[in-house]
Structure 1
Amino acid sequence: MSATHTDAGEPGFRITGWHVLAAVCAFFAVVIAVDASFTVMALRTFPGQVSVTPYEDGLLYNQRIAQEEAQAKLGWRAAAEVAPGLVVLTVQDAAGRPLRGLTVTGRLERPATESGRRTPRFIETAPGRYEGATSAIEGAWDLTAEAVDAAGRRFVAERRLTWR
Structure 2
Amino acid sequence: MPVDLTAPVRPRTAEPFRLSGRMVLATLIGFFLVVAGMNAVMMTIAISTMPGVDVKSAYETSQHYNGEIARMQEQAARGWTAEAGLRRSGADAILTLSLRDRAGAPVTGLSVTARLEHPATRREDRDAALSEAVAGTYGTRFLAVHGGGWTLAISARRGSETVFVSRSRIVLED
- What is the TM-score normalised by the length of structure 2? 0.63
1:67 aligns with 2:71: yes
2:84 and 2:108 map into 1 onto residues whose CA distance is: 16
- Matched residue of 2:113: which SS? strand
Q: Root-mean-square deviation (CA), in Å?
A: 2.6
Q: Tell me the equivalent position of 1:15.
A: none
Residue in structure 1 matching 2:96, options 55, 72, 88? 88
Q: Any conservation in 1 of the 2:116–2:153 contact (CA below 8 Å)? A: yes
- Matched residue of 1:44: which SS? helix
1:97 aligns with 2:105: yes
TM superposition shift of 1:66:
0.8
Say which is worse superposed, 58-67 or 107-116, in terms of deviation.
107-116
Q: Tell me the equivalent position of 2:54.
A: 50
Query: Deviations along 1:52-103, whole A, 9 cap, x unmatched?
Result: 2111111111111111011111111211111222111111111222212221
Q: Tell me the equivalent position of 1:108.
A: 116
Q: How does 1:81-160 map to 2 (within 5 A)?
A: 81-83=85-87, 84=89, 85-137=93-145, 138-149=147-158, 152=161, 154-160=163-169
Aligned length: 127
- Matched residue of 2:151: which SS? strand
Amino acid across the alignment from 2:56: V
TM superposition shift of 1:162:
2.2
TM superposition shift of 1:150:
5.8
Gaps of 5+ in 2: 1-38
- Matched residue of 2:122: which SS? coil
Q: Sequence identity of aligned pairs in percent?
A: 34
1:152 and 1:57 map into 2 onto residues whose CA distance is: 18
Residue in structure 2 matching 1:161, options 152, 160, 170? 170
- What is the TM-score normalised by the length of structure 1? 0.66
Q: Tell me the equivalent position of 1:22.
A: none
TM superposition shift of 1:47:
5.2
- Change beyond 3 A, Cα 1:151–1:107: closer
Q: Tell me the equivalent position of 1:25.
A: none
Q: Which has a greater percent of strand?
A: 2
TM superposition shift of 1:163:
1.8
Structure ID, larger Rg: 2
Amino acid across the alignment from 1:103: S
Query: Deviations along 1:16-55, whole A, 9 cap, x unmatched?
Result: xxxxxxxxxxxxxxxxxxxxx8xx77x9355543322111
Q: Any conservation in 1 of the 2:155–2:162 contact (CA below 8 Å)? A: no
